[in-house]
Amino acid sequence: MAQETPAPPADLRWSPLQAAIVIGLLGFCGFFVWETYHPEDIYLTSLKYDVLAGETEPLEDAGWNGHPLQIAQTVYPRGLGVDNAATIELRYVPNGYKNFVAEIGLSAEEIPGGPEGVTFTVVCDGTIRYQSGVMKAGEPPVEIRVPVLGCKTLSLQVAGAPKGRAVWGLARFVHG
């Protein structure tokens, strides 16, 4: 004969209101996690690109001297670190992706308040789609969202102080 599982004590049962609150909180948190990261995002560092200008090779998913990529107080597990006179070109932009998204700025290893600054430019098939103002060391990162649907090539350019370091943090292609 099968044994019945005893019911939990009444003080351990959830009321319908408690269950609804927990489900609502899980949904709310899940929405924000999903909006932050989609498994189908394609990170720049997982694609092949050409280095058209720059004194050093870009650093993928890591910073200089063994440090992580960092802009001001924000640390990035993924992204690209380049010198401040660099041009990276992707000759293939993933099909169906609507936007290129990144957080840009000067590496936290730069001296804050330095006189020199840089500009970040995103070029799609020879047309400028985004250009930052002059950014200086110590300033917080700027999130960019650049439309790339239909682009065949994408060029990421950093111009300015030749000995500095710039970061394209969490640089990726997204559907939305």
- pLDDT surpasses 60 at 31: no
Contact assessment for residue 155 and residue 64, using Cβ atoms and an 8 Å cutoff: no
Which CA distances in Å does 73 have to 45, 69, 138?
22, 10, 9
For the chain, domains (ranges, CATH) are 42-174 (2.60.120.1060)
Q: Return all residues near 149 (Cβ < 8 A) that are at least 6 apart.
A: 96, 97, 98, 99
CA dihedral 121, 126, 127, 133 (to 10 degrees): 20
User: Would you say residue 163 has pLDDT above 70?
Assistant: no
Residue 98 and residue 150: Cα distance in Å, rounded? 8
Tokens of 55: 């004194």
Q: Each residue of 70-112: pLDDT tens digit?
A: 898 899 999 998 887 889 999 988 888 999 999 999 887 766 5
Model confidence at 175, pLDDT cuts 50, 70, 90, reads confident
**Of 10-14, 60-64, 76-80, which gets the smallest average pLDDT?**
10-14
Give 79's strand partners.
169
In angstroms, the CA 101 to CA 161 distance is: 24
Give the mean model confidence (pLDDT) for residues 44-65: 83
pLDDT at 34: 47
Q: Is the pLDDT of residue 28 over 70?
A: no
